[in-house]
């Protein structure tokens, strides 16, 4: 399989930088990429928990799904993407998959995860620079906002500083805005998905308790809120990021 993806990486180098006569559908491209990205998320999740057998299975599925993307869209990009950036992205992802396969086979799960995150980030960069918005990128933004909130969970909090309360409230509000944006832009089938609803609604319910923690200067309550939010956030990234 790694040889096949080495060849795919080389083929990607030849992606034309001139517009196709008939541009591929952006919606079809996004759907095909999401099919591959779901396996990327799965592999990353299993690597995080140390289950390399299931990570290997997900990586094989990711390779097959990405091969389908390259076969269908390698030379037929949607008009939304700059041809040079698109070619570079496809090439870099091919290289990342080759690296991930080699690292996992050699017993280097951390390096494997780094390569898979590189693939995810390359796709996100392509979309962001092209003005293309999808749920996965919104979830990544929400993950970053959650990390910022979690970084403030350093008890005992110094409530004597006037900036402590405002920083906690402001960072929690920023995370709430990101979650609400993701909820608003989710496709109908995802928006109504029971798991998606549980994660979004559960996180928003936990965030609603932050004003109480701030008003009562309750370090323990804030810490419990962050633990709950962190669990929701990881699951949101694992399933939809």
At 7 the three-state DSSP class reads helix
d(CA 92, CA 195): 32
For each successive 10 residues of the chain (241 residues), what is the average pLDDT?
A: 47 44 79 94 92 95 95 89 94 93 95 95 95 94 96 92 93 97 93 94 97 95 96 91 79
The per-residue pLDDT for 74 is 82
* Positions of CATH 1.20.120 in the chain: 2-129, 135-240
Q: Which residues contact 228 (CB under 8 A, 6 or more apart)?
A: 202, 203, 206
Find, among 119, 106, 83, 156, the residue nearest to 8 by Cα. 119
Identify whether 19 is preceded by a cis peptide bond (ω within 30 of 0): no
- The CATH number that domain 2-129 falls under is 1.20.120
DSSP H stretches of helix in 130-161: 135-150
Identify whether 156 is preceded by a cis peptide bond (ω within 30 of 0): yes
CATH architecture for residues 135-240: Up-down Bundle (1.20)
The per-residue pLDDT for 75 is 83
């Amino acid at each position: 399989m790694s040889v096949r993806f080495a060849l795919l990486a080389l083929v990607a180098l030849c992606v034309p930088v001139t517009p196709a006569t008939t541009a591929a559908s952006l919606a079809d491209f996004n759907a095909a990429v999401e099919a591959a990205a779901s396996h990327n998320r799965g592999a990353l999740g299993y690597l995080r928990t140390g289950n390399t057998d299931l990570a290997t299975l997900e990586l094989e599925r990711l390779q097959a799904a990405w091969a389908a993307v390259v076969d269908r869209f390698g030379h037929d990009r949607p008009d939304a993407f700059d041809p040079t950036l698109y070619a570079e992205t496809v090439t870099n992802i091919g290289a990342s998959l080759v690296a991930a396969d080699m690292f996992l086979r050699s017993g280097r799960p951390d390096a494997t995860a780094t390569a898979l995150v590189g693939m995810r980030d390359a796709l996100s960069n392509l979309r962001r620079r092209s003005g293309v918005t999808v749920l996965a990128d919104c979830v990544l933004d929400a993950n970053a906002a959650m990390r910022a909130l979690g970084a403030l969970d350093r008890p005992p909090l110094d409530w004597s500083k006037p900036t402590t309360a405002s920083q906690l409230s402001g960072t929690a509000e920023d995370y709430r805005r990101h979650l609400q944006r993701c909820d608003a832009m989710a496709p109908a089938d995802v928006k109504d998905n029971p798991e998606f609803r549980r994660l979004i609604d559960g996180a928003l319910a936990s965030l609603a308790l932050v004003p109480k923690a701030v008003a009562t200067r309750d370090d323990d309550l804030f810490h419990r809120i962050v633990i709950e939010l962190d669990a929701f956030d990881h699951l949101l990234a694992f399933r939809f990021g």
